[in-house]
Amino acid sequence: MERVSGIQCKVGESPVWDAHSAAWYWVDIAGKRVWRLDGEGGGRGALRSWTTSEMVACIAPKESGGLIAGMETGLFSLALGEGGQAGETWLARPASLGEGMRFNDGRTDRQGRFWSGTMFMDMSAARAIGELYSYSAEQGLSAPVVSGLVTQNGLAWSPDGRTMYLSDSHPSSRLIWAFDYDTATGVPSNRRVFADLNQHVGRPDGAAVDAEGGYWTCANDAGCLLRFTPDGKFDRRVDVPFAKPSMCAFGGADMATLLVTSIPSGKPEDAEWGGAVVLLRPGIKGLVETRFKA
């Protein structure tokens, strides 16, 4: 396991490997920052960052360059130029994105549509008003696809793109669902419980799917990653050096490296590693993410 520089994010999230630029990207939500790590040097590659005008929660590389992002006031296109400030172009905002809310977890499906969900930021309020949306250049922002979420998380797709995964990481839920997914229309159906973390450890935060179809969830508060087979059976646990892993992503030249972001827990024993970003080799390869088709 290798640490990326001495970075300690306030809320590290949304890592993604962009094979086109051979670089990792991730965000620090509370720090209002986008990070990039060139991939050839591992954790010692060239490191850059850009600030944003508001919290940026999730990102995906765009086919045309730059990133698409879910932020506080909607979806944006981000241009990462030579300066330290990201260029921001507003794209869309759902009517339900009210005061005290923001987008949370998000990524593209295998066809290049961008998916993301909203949440009420004060998790102690446990308000189930979060909704899941898709966005495409052709059709714009969808109507709410899933409603009643407290802390939307865990978006991922099976290798063939025909199964969609979604979780709610709030302590009152701790569930991961699977859906049948129509790749032509981008419509999920047949929602069912895929894994119940009330029967395991932690809360199901961000996730990734490997080349064998295994679903890796960051078990927030439990200091580990949990892998489930495509039929929902618990397969393995990988411990990490921080209490609150937040999201993981496969990448690197051979797609066999897993980058994991984290959130500081505030506990003394987590002071050194909380908020760190690490690279590890879990012994299995991932899949190249589809860039957003603009």
Q: Give the residue numbers annotated as catalytic, written as ranges.
A: 205
CB atoms under 10 Å from CB of 272, counted, come to 12
The C-alpha atoms of residue 125 and residue 191 are separated, in whole angstroms, by 26
Burial class (CB in 10 A: 0-12, 13-18, 19+), 20: exposed
> Which residue in this structure is represented by tokens 């411990």?
239
Do 140 and 97 contact (CB within 8 A), yes or no? no
Beta-strand pair 47-51/33-38:
antiparallel
The DSSP secondary structure of 58-114, one letter per residue, reads: EEEEBTTSSEEEEESSSEEEEE--SSSB-EEEEEE--TT--TTEEEEEEEE-TTS-E
Nearest CA to 163 among 154, 172, 175? 154
